[in-house]
Chains A and B, each alone.
Chain A
Amino acid sequence: MSTPLPEIPLPVIDHAAAAARFVADEARTNWHDASLWQVRQKRDRAAQAVPEWEALRDLASKIKAHTLSRLDEYLAQFEEQATANGIQVHWAKDAAEHNQIVHAILARHGVQRLVKSKSMLTEECGLNPYLEAQGIEVVDTDLGERIVQLAGEGPSHIVMPAIHVKKEEIGALFHEKIGTPAGEADPGRLTEAARQHLRAHFLSADAALTGVNFAIAETGGFVVCTNEGNADLGVHLTPVHIASMGIEKIIPAAEHLGVFLRLLARSATGQDLTVYTSHFHRPRQGQELHVVLVDNGRSAHLGRADFRDALKCIRCGACINTCPIYRRSGGHSYGSTVPGPIGSILTPGIDLKKYQHLPFASTLCGSCGDVCPVKIDIPGQLYRWRQLVTEEGHAGRSKRRVMAVAGQIFRNPRLFRWAGKLGRRLLRWLPQRAVYHQRNVWGRARDLPEPPRQSFLEWYAAHRSDNANKKGHDQ
């Protein structure tokens, strides 16, 4: 047996520190917060306009639960049907294999220029840098993705990749990269410039890659949703279309599309439906059509009873838009491909140590669970991950010590009463400086409530029914 290689520690993602850098610019934080809240409000109006909204959520959740319970059968059925349709189906157990498969297809066709529509999976797999290292030019064609690609960043949101960038910054970027006039910051004119710039790429590409929103087991086809038309413009011009999908994107039959599509765009942006909902079942004449089915940790996640529901996710982004932490910390602070609440319950499954802080990047307000169109109990999972992080001993030293002391106090009623009394007194008497001292991390951005004069127990003793009777009811 060979000696095991020494462990190389990965940097732990410190969400709180990254968020602190984000909120240091207060005006920008408020702008970011307001942009997302606006999308959340649009979602609310769209959802409220559908009388059967709650029934649809319930149904969507049940269809996904059913599908996950027979996922292997549906995958096999999809493969069989798709193959019969003339689609070439590939299986990738991890990111590396996915990238190799894609590269092999491109290499076989001598592809030099690939246009790519939005696919969080390829972000997860790090496909762009992999292909670029092999000399293939990759152009992201979704406008938001193109913006972050030109800026040398990753997307900060799964639906609105450039939600963190201001129009003036996009103007400066476009001026430098695609030659728009200096100082141009009008969204209409910048979009027009991007249209012209990307059209040239569409017309000269040798292959196109898309993501997949839904793959239909019964018919062996798949559906891609966009507003811009960029996925379609890419694949209908090139001789090779590769569609990459996580294995959880399968649905049993076409009738289920109605359920998910009625929920998806409304939850995502408040639109009734995306502009283009494209159904691919067979390659175009003279074209090769490939589907790459990617596991990359999903089958393992399916085995975690407490967390497997996260695989129901249809990537609408509603939980992200509504999250008070995301809105005020920005997508990049999460350090994971999928940010926000859904990212915080998916990513710890990939590497608990590296992403140990993400389940704590939440107030547990529950808003994410309330808006989720497939009814994933996101807050419940965040809470459960916190327990696991602590059990695994990843909680910080000060947090552990505080919890140990609190545990002692809560276990001992007399100690609890005494501590309460002491605390109430101290908070009244101590000067501000002593209460909000450096080590009170909690108090850095929060005010403590006014301490009550009495504890509940004291109040109760004074108002017990026999006392109350004497004094008469004073409600």
Chain B
Amino acid sequence: MSSRDAILQAVRQNRPDPVPRPPTPLFASPDEGLTTAFVEAQKRAGGTVVSTTADAIATLLDARFPDARVIASTAGDIVAGSMDLHAVADPHELADLDLLVCRGVVGVAENGAIWIPKAHLGHRAALFIAQHLAIVLDANALVWNLHDAYARIDVAEDSFGVFVAGPSKTADIEQSLVIGAHGPRSLTVFLLTE
């Protein structure tokens, strides 16, 4: 018998009596205060939220990252970027990426997470290999909790998708929080409020 069949057979033999599948509620969401909660959650996670308009972002980025040379953007209508992600064949070429600018789909107020599917990344690696990350998010795209968020997205629609909640970090040395583990050293969220 194949290992597959042996495992499935053993599981079938040993599984307990049927237990019904419980319904998953969305849980109550407050009607207002989404933006405040989101900003607070991002702050807890080490991110920075800037409420702004689309045409102000390029200038804000210049001021925040004056030394960034290699900039990739998948939000071309907002920030031009210095390179074309689509021209990159091998993600290793992104090793010197200073900044990635991309759009988020849904933002979660209770934990600051932002959903980004592969389609918004060009290369999956770009989100993790960039030294800094900036995400543009529509304030209308905020929901209260993860249940709301999963109700709005289709996790299987794209080959890959990720909730990002803050810059990369670690506390593996004596529980001291250090921002900038392997991924981006900072996360700036531009929340479009108009």
Contacts and interface: CB of A to CB of B under 8 A. Distances in A.
A and B: real partners? Answer: yes
Contacts of B182: 141, 195, 198-199, 202, 228-230, 233
Given A69-B17, A237-B92, A281 B175 contact: no
* Max chain A Cβ within 10 angstroms of own Cβ: one of B16, B17, B164, B167: B16
Interface in B91-113: 91-92, 95, 108, 110-113
A168 B123 CA distance: 39
Please tell me the size bucket of the interface on B: 35 or more
Contacts of B92: 203, 237
A280 B127 CA distance: 15
A191 B160 CA distance: 28
B181 to A, nearest CB: 4
* Closest 8 pairs between A and B when the two form their complex, measured CB to CB: A229-B183, A303-B14, A272-B111, A228-B181, A144-B172, A282-B159, A299-B10, A236-B125
Nearest to A49: B110
Interface in B146-172: 146-147, 149-151, 155-156, 158-172
Interface stretch (A13-21, A60-68, A129-137): A60-68
17 contacts: A63-B22, A68-B15, A75-B11, A76-B8, A167-B173, A191-B181, A203-B95, A219-B155, A228-B182, A233-B183, A252-B21, A262-B145, A273-B108, A276-B128, A279-B155, A284-B159, A308-B16
A390 to B, nearest CB: 25
B181 A195 contact: yes
A420 to B, nearest CB: 45
A295 interface: yes
Nearest to B123: A236
Contacts of B112: 272-273
Contacts of B28: 51-52
A254 B156 contact: yes
B4 interface: yes
Contacts of A261: 146
B63 interface: no
B76 interface: no
B174 to A, nearest CB: 5
Nearest to B149: A258
Nearest to B159: A282
Contact of A93 (B7, B20, B45, B165): B7
Given A143-B173, A271-B45, A278 B183 contact: no
Given A143-B173, A237-B125, A262 B146 contact: yes
Contacts of B14: 299-300, 302-303, 308
B163 A232 contact: no
A72 B15 contact: yes
Classify the interface of chain B: helix, strand, loop or mixed. loop
A220 B27 CA distance: 26
Contact of B7 (A191, A257, A259, A293): A293
A273 B180 contact: no
Contacts of A72: 8, 11-12, 15
A38 interface: yes
A346 to B, nearest CB: 16
Interface string B128-153: 11000000000000000111011100
A237 B14 CA distance: 41
* Max chain B Cβ within 10 angstroms of own Cβ: one of A38, A65, A230, A232: A232
B15 A69 contact: yes
A222 B134 CA distance: 26
Contacts of A79: 4
Contacts of B15: 68-72, 302
B24 A221 contact: no
Given A69-B17, A258-B149, A262-B145, A191 B128 contact: no
Interface in A60-117: 62-63, 65-66, 68-72, 75-76, 79, 85, 91-93, 97
Please tell me the size bucket of the interface on A: 35 or more
Interface string B9-41: 011111111111110100110000000000001
Contact of A65 (B19, B180, B181): B19
Given A66-B19, A255-B150, A275 B164 contact: yes
Given A202-B182, A276-B183, 4 more contacts: A50-B110, A51-B28, A221-B156, A300-B10
Interface string A151-174: 000000000111100110010000
Contact of B165 (A55, A198, A273): A273
B56 interface: no
Contacts of B6: 93
Given A52-B27, A281-B155, A272 B44 contact: yes
B171 A303 contact: no
Contacts of A202: 182
Nearest to A235: B124
A279 B149 CA distance: 14
Contacts of B166: 275
Given A35-B174, A203-B95, A271-B45, A255 B12 contact: no
Contacts of B163: 273, 276-277
Interface in A428-470: none
A232 B127 CA distance: 9
A217 to B, nearest CB: 11
